[in-house]
Amino acid sequence: MHNNTQEKVEVPKEYPQVMALPLTRRPLFPGFYKTLFVKDPKVINAINDLMARKQPFISVFMTKDETFDGDVVNDMSQIYDVGVFAQISNVYHSGPDNKGLTILLYPHRRIKIKNLIPPLNKEELETSNSNNNSQKQNSKKEDNTNNDNNKNNNEVENKNDKKEGKEGKDEKDEIELPKEYTDQFDEVNLPLAKFNVSVVDVVNLEDEKYNPEDSIIKAVNAELLSVLKEISQINQLFREQIISFSIQNGGTFFAEAPQLADFAAAVSTGEPSELQGVLECLDIEERLQKALLVIKKELANVKLQQEISKEVDKKITRKQQEYFLMEQLRGIKKELGIDTDGKEKLIEKFKTRASKLKMPEEVQKVFNEELNKLESIDSLSPEFNVTNNYLDWITQIPWGQRSEENFDLKHAETVLNEDHYGLKEVKERILEFIAVGKLKNSVEGKIICLVGPPGVGKTSVGKSIARALNRDFFRFSVGGLSDVAEIKGHRRTYVGAMPGKIIQALKKVQTENPLILIDEIDKLGKGTHGDLSSALLELLDPEQNNAFLDHYMDVPVDLSRVLFVCTANVLDTIPGPLLDRMEVISLSGYVAEEKTNIGLQYLSPQALAINGLEKKNVKLHKDAIELLIHSYARESGVRGLKKLIDKIYRKAALKLVKAEELATTKEEIEEAKNMKLDITAENLKNYVGPPIFTSERLYDKTQPGVVMGLAWTSMGGSSLYIESTLDKPLSYYNADNKKVYSIPQFSQTGQLGSVMKESSVIAYTFAKAFLLKHDPKNTFFQYASIHMHVPEGATPKDGPSAGCTITTALLSLAMNQPVKDNVAMTGEITLTGKILKIGGLREKTIAAKRSGVKYILFPEDNKNDWNKLPEYIKEGITGIPVGWYDEIFNFVFEKGDNKVKDI
């Protein structure tokens, strides 16, 4: 800490110009020391300069804005014009990194501002500096001798700058100030000009003459002393201030009316405006009156604080009395056997619960410790509730409690068929899983992940597996979850702490071997509170979850007997380490025939029961369901179809109820009760409105430059058209009747992803090379400015499997020849024309069937995927595997041998 104690300096009676410091919230009064903290480097340097020149005098004025946070005054409107002339008694560095300065001030007298010399703003400084620089340059041209002298002077100034930099001044070059600015400073304060601080011209304010023997002044003096004495008897801090000031001033301020008024205002916590009023008042009688008003308000505040303190003390004392009385009452009741303590009941409850469980040795030890702690803690203590809640949770985890599993394959097959239509591959995979479990007498260590579009029945398949195995079922979603505490629990030190979802699941199902379904595992949130994927890995990994540690429970919990089933729409966003430990079962979308049967056998009966129509004569016909699927609900799943069937039955219920309410005669009532409603394809729009989808195909007849591709999305498969056209003519005649050819270029639109854009460039390059080889006379690509578009523009698209489709569209445009009708294709193309394997062939085939396609061209490497498709999906469609693009070209443009072979 730097300490600079000012040597004794004679205080001048007149000091007409002085540096000004602003002070917030309360003014200074003559005769009473005050410390101020300064943080502005310019002001700190100026104060150091004053101390070095043995002119340790400044002025202090209170700001009108209590939130003011500066050390310089830029405008007179910021401060009151009456303040004090003060002497700096001591300075020392303080604040962060000792960059601030604390100064001890002794105010000598009242002063008033005549004029403010504000600091120069940034623009004025820059203008001044630039003008001075130009003047220096002109001077250099005129006088080389002066230039040498200036160099010597600059060297001296640089040395001085370095010295000032050591004391906190951070200025690169000495700035020459405008003459009109420096002319405002007197000789004593001229050195302050370079620091750019606030300087004021002031006049001294003298107290008006008064008669100490005046009766009013005597009375007010006496009242002031009386109030000060009363406050000091109540407030210890106030009494210490009086003693301190009395020692400091030798007690003289009690005898002098002006000093007494200033003292009363200085030690009070009054309003800033009232205190400023005392400072500005030069009439002694008026000053005493204002000081008395301030100190009277202080007395009222002190008395109010005393009353509040007494009330609080009474309440605390009363609570202590109640506590002792309650303890005595409990003791008496215990002796008489009238009532047993609530704590004893809790302890007995926890012991009873624990006796029915098979806690591991480590858990039993923790339970005993917590139970002993509960016995020793007072029931009114906050720790009592924390321990009570922990014991409640630890005794509700089903330690050693298991449900008996059912590995009967016939039972499992019956359950799966009752709950789901189709899904042959999925059912077979689940039955294989159960069969292995029967041989091992356990399904431990398996994590099933059901992947497929929304609405295909992933969650309900999980419920069916639980019902088939006779396991309790619990479901929770991690979609958008960002706090790892939801999985691992909160620490017990937090208010409202709870265990994670897994411990909550075990508490609810009351078995150690439930089936827990974790939904939306592909949509984990990205939070700042821990890594969710790592927490799930610890939870799901068979190598780790036999001793899962929840933060709240803080004891190892064996989760190896839990069967975890996860659901996801896509695999791409599932973290790699998690996916590596899962048994993936894909649930593709349903074709129209499957959705029709699901609607008839499952959704329609369920909707009848939900809407109270089981005993009513309402029937949804098969042709209506088929029309619903074709024109209203084309998604891969059946959730949309379920909503539409619910809507139909709600409309039917409304019709029936209205008919019954409008019926008046007995015959009409009977007729309304027996009303028959048949919902068919003809009257379906009366229930669900006009069709949403009129056609799956954008083009009924193919045209040059347009080819149908097939895409896979998280919602299932869909048709994907590739459109290409010329955006400029190949050639035209200019104003000189000279033939000008277009510049070849290739642009793409349709919100394509980076992979699909790259694939389109590859297709464009291959198409040019292929056409050159196939038809050298065709110069289309040499001049063609092509625009390729993929509808629909609002839907993002990405992936390489449209490569062969883009190539075909470009060649179709180049040859001005449309492709064969009712053909769709999918496959990634290379620069040599090789067709590479793609994914989602089942979903793409379903989409092609919806669009009425007769031929599907797909990569030869996907031949096994095609053979695995059920016959009812392939019915009416011919699949053509291709290895090279020549085969696609020959087929779609009917060139050479293009006979279709059924595979």
Residues annotated in a binding site for ATP: 452-459
Q: Which of 480, 554, 577 is nearest to 520 (CA)?
A: 480
From residue 114, give the alpha-carbon distance in Å to each of 71, 80, 195, 206, 476: 20, 12, 21, 15, 76
801 is catalytic: yes
Q: Strand 828-829 relative to strand 823-825: parallel, antiparallel, unpaired?
A: unpaired
The alpha carbon dihedral of 370, 375, 377, 381 has a sign of positive
CA distance 872 to 894: 28
Q: What is the residue whose two structure tokens read 């699909």?
A: 756
Can you tell me the distance from the alpha carbon of 288 to that of 225, in angstroms, rounded to the nearest whole number? 11
Paired strand residues for 88:
105
CA 845 to chain CA centroid, Å, is: 41
Tell me, letter by letter, the H, E, C secondary structure of 225-265. HHHHHHHHHHCHHHHHHHHHHHHHHCCHHHCCHHHHHHHHH
∠ Cα 709 712 717 (to 5°): 85
In terms of phi and psi (left: phi > 0; alpha: psi -120 to 50; beta: otherwise), the region of 92 is: beta
Contacts of 534 (CB under 8 A, 6+ apart): none
488, 501, 595, 844: the catalytic one is: 844
Range 824-836 burial, b when 16+ CB lie within 10 A, else e: bbbbbbeeebebb
What's phi and psi for 5, nearest 5 deg? -90, 125
The whole-angstrom distance between residue 20's C-alpha and the CA centroid of its chain comes to 48
Q: Write the CB contacts of 204 (distance below 8 Å, at least 6 apart in sequence).
A: 13, 14, 85, 109, 110, 111
Cβ burial, residue 489 (10 Å; 0-12/13-18/19+)? buried
According to DSSP, the residues that pair with 4 across neighbouring strands are: 91
Are the CB atoms for 377 and 360 separated by under 8 Å? Answer: no
165: number of Cβ within 10 Å:
12
Distance CA 804, CA 884 (A): 10
SS3 419: helix
Q: What residue type is assigned to position 473 of the chain?
A: F
| DSSP assignment of 71-129 | SS---GGGB-SEEEEEEEEEEEEESGGG-EEEEEEEEEEEEEEEEEEPPP-HHHHHHHH
* Cβ–Cβ under 8 Å, residues 450 and 588: no
Compute the half-sphere exposure of residue 662: CA atoms within 13 Å on the CB side of its CA: 8
Whole-angstrom Cα Rg for the chain: 46
Residue 710's nearest CA partner among 870, 609, 551, 859 is 859
Q: The tokens of 622 are what?
A: 């098969």
Tell me how far apart the alpha carbons of residues 408 and 434 are, in angstroms, rounded to a whole number: 8
Q: Which helix (H) or strand (E) holds 879?
A: strand 878-882
Phi and psi at residue 584, in whole multiples of 5°? -85, 130
From the list 631, 801, 812, 851, the catalytic residue is 801
Q: What positions carry a catalytic annotation?
A: 801, 844
